[in-house]
Structure 1
Amino acid sequence: MQHRFKSESMRIIFIAILVAIAGEFKVTPFNGELFRIGLGSSTFLLLLLLMRQLPVIKTGIVVAATVLIFRMLSDLVTMDQFDWLVSSRKHCSAMLYYMVFAVGIRLIQQRLEKLHPLVLGICISVIDFVSNEFELLARSFVFHQPFIPSGQWMLIAVIAVIRSYFTIGLYSSITVSQMRIVHAEQQKRMEQMLSIGSGLYGEVFYIKKSMDAIEQITAKSYNLYCQLQSSGGKEFSRPFLEITQQIHEVKKDSQRILAGLMKLSDRETASELTLTEVVQFVVKSNYEYSAMLNKEVRMLEEMLTDYTTSHYIPLLTVLGNLVSNAVESIDRQGLIVIKVFEYRSETVLVVTDTGPGINEHDKDMIFKPGFTTKFNQEGVAATGIGLSHVWDIVSSYGGEIRLESDHKAFETSFIVRLPTVALKKGAS
């Protein structure tokens, strides 16, 4: 609580000093220095709008007192014969302006966020005009002058409107800039979540496959144990029973891991994305990947269909693998085209690159686990799980994938066909 009070007090003092300084940038619409129009009120309004959590009345009192003291000190420095009483009388009306202005803002404070900018501008123009009138009224009592020079009512009203709308416009610009920053940050986090989700989906998919394999191995090991038992080889059967038990423990551990990963990658609790958003995310992430590899890769999108889907994670995984493989296959510079369209009851995804292509004798092996044609500078092969991964995911949706490679045209295309009904929003 003490820290919060200290922070609030520091902000109020900061506002007060800034308003006092800004008030020195001024014009005098009437003869003499008794009434002037400066940037102080605009600064005060802007800071009140930006720091709405501050107590307005308290802030107004501190600002008013600070302005009075600041102007009296200014007189002390600039005047040859300084009189405290004369200086305080001269500037006390300005103090009244900020206090009245703060009261006016406090009256509409609860509705600031609900008011349309045009309506808010009218309200603040009225508050500014009334505050100026109180300042002029105070000066007329102190210096025994007419309340306001003849014919100057309209000038004060126009200045109030211009000053109010200028400040609101500046505030709106700052607010829009802040919203853009927040949106950019949210977009960045969304992209990070999509990358993590795509990676988790792949891990879950392969753990599920491993679970099936473990189940089969456990059954075969136990069957072998039973056969040895029945054939009289009991001295050999015991180790097989222990192996079966160990495999069963591995299966239970894998099930726990799988359960945790499935909670993180649960598609039913996720939102939906359009096909266009999926493609745009893949393009952006692979632009960054190509830059990391020091390659100049252009990417074109041809979206001939678009709809919302809750199955965007598998699509991201499929397209991400295909496009990243395309980036890796391109030597120094090239082009990747991602085309999406619907044909009959299927959604077709085509990824075409201008890399060197794939040899004819490798086409039958390209989707096999462990197969790769990519080696690093040390001659070490890549893992080769990308395309087999894509094959498995596509197959799980009842779709198919095929390769078209033309060495002469320097084009390689991967064509994925998926049932549209399995992808569209609401499909399970």
Structure 2
Amino acid sequence: MGQPLNRHPYIQILLVAVVTAIAGEFKINPYAGDIFRIGLGSSAFLLFLLLFRHLPFILTGVVTGVSVLLFRTGLDLAGTDFTILEIVTRHCSAMVYYIVFAVLMRVIKERMDGFHPLVLGAVAAVIDLLSNEMELLTRLLVLGTTSFRLNEWTYLMAIAMLRTYFTTGLYSSISVSQLRLVQKEQNRRMEQMLGFGSGLYGEVFYLQKSIGTLEQATLDSYDLYRSLKDGGELANSRQVLHITQQIHEVKKDSQRILAGLTKLVDREVTGDMPLSGLLRFTVKSNQKYADMLGKNITIIQQTTSDYATASYIPLLTLLNNLTANAVEAIKDTGIIYLNIYEKEDMTVFTVTDSGGGVNDRDRELLFEPGFTTKFDDEGVAATGIGLSHVQDIVRLFEGKITVSNAPYAGGAMFKIAIPTKNLRKEE
């Protein structure tokens, strides 16, 4: 495969030269005869220099000037009876214009990013005017033409201002469009990172719990082995010891996996995020989830507290889990309310839906591992670890989660209250 175009600056310089030479033939003649021509070549050349900052300006100006001279010479040779010397003499001033223009643009090249668009347009107009003066001086020396009257110089300056402001305005529009595309791509990658981080955090959290369970299982198994051995049941004790060793190996493998995942989380998930950002991401991701399920669900968010937190990934895990459950609880059409506010020294998160609510008999078992009220079309139960997961994370932050029915919405309301000091990023 070929290399990208920006790795071949000489091809770009040639492209600039050719396009400028062709654009220069689309022109107007503000003065009688063919003494001075104002064409689109100047605007095209300025636009190229603004867009291709990495090119060597002076070399680009020389190549462009020579190309314009050769192009116009070729056209005149094909359509007039002038000699080649006469033609070159008539058009050499155009070559001077592009060279001088490029040299002056090189002078301000390092400072262009700091110019306001209006200032950049004014500076470019001055450069255009000076380049035109050098072109006229060249014509005066070579062809012996006289200088222009004052009103003609004024008109020339007006043309320079109009041409450069049009070009810098076009350049600014292109730059804004590029920035919007870059921002859109950054937002897309941020959403992917947040979704990845939220899911990965949940897996890491439960792997940590599993390792603790395996550790306890290893201890219990070893105690059983000692008991059987002391009781003289050697055959059974050896079998239990073998099981203990296997559990221990699984625990070590899990620890190695956990170490790798933890490093990945630390690398991918850094910085902080305002609480309003958590809600925006939660709404966007779960709106897509609702659309995927073919449900017409409106998600309404409200934030009365909007401090920054470094714990946004576990909070996203909580909100995504509860909001996804709310989406699943709504049959076809409904509303979900997401709310964040502070009450005394607690930050409160609520997720309320217009689904069927929670039965009183299920409320005490709702956060138990393995409990579920969700079954698919074939009657197969869901894993039921979601709300247990949520409760464990809430406890990790020394918080509390409660569930109740919401009469105003018609469904369930999950409320999470976490000490603000455990979430707020210190200034």
Please say whether Structure 1 and Structure 2 have the same fold, judged by a TM-score greater than 0.5: yes
Distance in 2, Cα, partners of 1:407 & 1:157: 73
Structure 2 match to 1:48:
49
Structure 2 match to 1:271:
271
Deviations 1:162-206 (A, max 9, x none): 222222222122112111111111111111111111111111111
Q: What does 1:118-267 align with in structure 2 at a 5 Å threshold?
A: 118-266=118-266
Residue 311 of structure 1 contacts residue 423 of structure 1 at CA under 8 Å; is this kept in 2? yes
Aligned pair count reads 425
Deviation (angstroms), 1:251 = 1.1
Distance in 1, Cα, partners of 2:426 & 2:256: 29
Deviation (angstroms), 1:72 = 2.6
Structure 1 match to 2:376:
376
Q: Which moved more, 1:174-183 or 1:111-120?
A: 111-120
Structure 2 match to 1:57:
58
Distance in 1, Cα, partners of 2:225 & 2:375: 43
TM-score (norm 2): 0.94
Deviation (angstroms), 1:407 = 7.5
Residue 321 of structure 2 contacts residue 386 of structure 2 at CA under 8 Å; is this kept in 1? yes
Deviation (angstroms), 1:372 = 2.0
Residue 267 of structure 1 contacts residue 311 of structure 1 at CA under 8 Å; is this kept in 2? no
Structure 2 match to 1:109:
109
Distance in 2, Cα, partners of 1:71 & 1:207: 74
Amino acid corresponding to residue 68 of structure 1 in structure 2: L
Structure 2 match to 1:423:
423
Structure 2 match to 1:33:
34
Deviation (angstroms), 1:325 = 1.0
Q: Which moved more, 1:417-426 or 1:359-368?
A: 359-368
1:22 aligns to 2:23 (yes or no): yes
Structure 2 match to 1:400:
400
Amino acid corresponding to residue 153 of structure 1 in structure 2: W
Q: Identity percentage over the alignment?
A: 51
* SS at 2:35 equivalent: coil
Deviation (angstroms), 1:77 = 4.5
1:289 aligns to 2:292 (yes or no): no
Amino acid corresponding to residue 133 of structure 2 in structure 1: E
* SS at 2:302 equivalent: strand
Q: Root-mean-square deviation (CA), in Å?
A: 2.2
Amino acid corresponding to residue 253 of structure 2 in structure 1: D
Structure 2 match to 1:68:
69
Amino acid corresponding to residue 333 of structure 2 in structure 1: Q
Residue 202 of structure 2 contacts residue 317 of structure 2 at CA under 8 Å; is this kept in 1? yes
Deviation (angstroms), 1:25 = 2.1
Amino acid corresponding to residue 40 of structure 1 in structure 2: G
Amino acid corresponding to residue 64 of structure 1 in structure 2: G
* SS at 1:112 equivalent: helix
Distance in 1, Cα, partners of 2:340 & 2:216: 39
Distance in 2, Cα, partners of 1:83 & 1:341: 85
1:319 aligns to 2:316 (yes or no): no
Residue 305 of structure 2 contacts residue 340 of structure 2 at CA under 8 Å; is this kept in 1? yes
Structure 2 match to 1:413:
413
Structure 2 match to 1:356:
356
* SS at 1:43 equivalent: helix
Distance in 2, Cα, partners of 1:149 & 1:380: 92
Amino acid corresponding to residue 15 of structure 1 in structure 2: V
Distance in 1, Cα, partners of 2:364 & 2:33: 94
Residue 353 of structure 2 contacts residue 409 of structure 2 at CA under 8 Å; is this kept in 1? no
Distance in 1, Cα, partners of 2:253 & 2:426: 33
Amino acid corresponding to residue 384 of structure 1 in structure 2: G
Amino acid corresponding to residue 217 of structure 1 in structure 2: A
Distance in 2, Cα, partners of 1:158 & 1:268: 54
Distance in 1, Cα, partners of 2:381 & 2:330: 17
List gaps (5 residues or longer) in structure 2: none
Distance in 1, Cα, partners of 2:178 & 2:205: 40
Deviations 1:289-317 (A, max 9, x none): 11111222111111111101000011000
Distance in 2, Cα, partners of 1:245 & 1:328: 42
Residue 211 of structure 1 contacts residue 251 of structure 1 at CA under 8 Å; is this kept in 2? yes
Residue 301 of structure 1 contacts residue 338 of structure 1 at CA under 8 Å; is this kept in 2? yes
Structure 1 match to 2:390:
390
Structure 2 match to 1:344:
344
Amino acid corresponding to residue 240 of structure 2 in structure 1: F
Distance in 2, Cα, partners of 1:103 & 1:214: 73
Residue 193 of structure 2 contacts residue 268 of structure 2 at CA under 8 Å; is this kept in 1? no
Residue 341 of structure 1 contacts residue 347 of structure 1 at CA under 8 Å; is this kept in 2? yes
Distance in 1, Cα, partners of 2:85 & 2:308: 74
Deviation (angstroms), 1:78 = 4.4
Q: Which moved more, 1:220-229 or 1:82-91?
A: 82-91
Deviation (angstroms), 1:253 = 0.9
Distance in 2, Cα, partners of 1:341 & 1:54: 54
TM-score (norm 1): 0.93
Distance in 2, Cα, partners of 1:103 & 1:93: 15
Distance in 1, Cα, partners of 2:148 & 2:417: 81
Q: Structure 1 residues 237 and 67 mapped into 2: Cα distance closer, same or farther (>3 Å)?
A: same
Amino acid corresponding to residue 27 of structure 1 in structure 2: I
Deviations 1:95-120 (A, max 9, x none): 11111111111222222223443443
Amino acid corresponding to residue 420 of structure 1 in structure 2: T
